Amino acid sequence: MEAKKINLTLQIWRQKNSKSVGSFVEYKVQVSPDASFLEMLDEINNELEAKDQEAIHFESDCREGICGTCGLVINGRPHGPLQKIATCQLHMRNFKDGETIWVEPFRAKAFPVIKDLMVDRSAFDKILQAGGYISVNTGGIPDANEIPIAKEKASLAMDAAACIGCGACVAACKNASAVLFVSAKVSQYALLPQGQPERYRRVERMVKVMDELGFGSCTNTYACEAECPKGISVANIARMNREYVMAKVKNPEVEV
């Protein structure tokens, strides 16, 4: 037996492009509580297209909480009211019948709006590119188990590598800081032997590009960790700061 549908009022941000002025547009919907948030947006778009009206633009890909493209601010919170999930994992049963839901894009200078709920997150790609590569003289093809790595360090590196680069940390931060994202990417390599040759150049270059792209500074409010769908720890920020100080000692070209 199909679950009873719930009635919702959606206030969705519509904006033609980054240079235009956007505004909230109201939509009345009936939706199954078992539908995901993105499925609900799909249903609205089907109705809009049936009326020859322009669909609401938003991003998604895997819809499994892995790719990080689906980020929306829902009722003032990146990815919505639940912790440690991406927008695509949010279901309509978490909202009450008759509720009004406000939906808008991530807000940050470094994330300009492309259209409606879509933002340009290519700034993250530029930071990763600045980090470069890892160079290890492997010889042949060694077995992974032949590289000794302490269990604690391996676990910390894997925890940091869980970051999906969605940008929720930036959207949650009052300064639009990308420090949690950058620190996770710095940590996952700094903790492992494969990342040692470029260790200090990597952190210096990534921090430099982060600042150049217009991200704000970190003031340790922990909002980033609270809204991160993968629960990335702010302990990575402390590690990145230590790496950066050591880079100044090891590499005189680093400026602080």
Residue-wise pLDDT for 97-117, tens only, equals: 999 999 999 999 999 999 999
pLDDT, position 132? 83
pLDDT, position 141? 64
Q: Which residues of the chain have pLDDT under 70?
A: 1-2, 134-145, 251-256
pLDDT, position 256? 47
Domains and CATH numbers, the chain: 6-115 (3.10.20.30), 121-250 (1.10.1060.10)
pLDDT, position 116? 98
pLDDT, position 254? 52
pLDDT tens figures, 229-254 = 999 999 999 999 999 999 988 765 55
The model's pTM: 0.90
pLDDT, position 135? 65
Tokens standing for residue 225 = 């960790």
Rounded to whole angstroms, how far apart are CA atoms 110 and 183?
Answer: 17
Rounded to whole angstroms, how far apart are CA atoms 171 and 120?
Answer: 13
**What SS3 class is residue 254?**
coil
* b/e burial code for range 60-91 (CB count within 10 A of at least 16 → b): beebebebbbbbbbbeebbbbeeeebbbbbbb
- 165 within 8 A of 181, measured Cβ to Cβ: yes
- 105 within 8 A of 114, measured Cβ to Cβ: no
pLDDT, position 93? 96
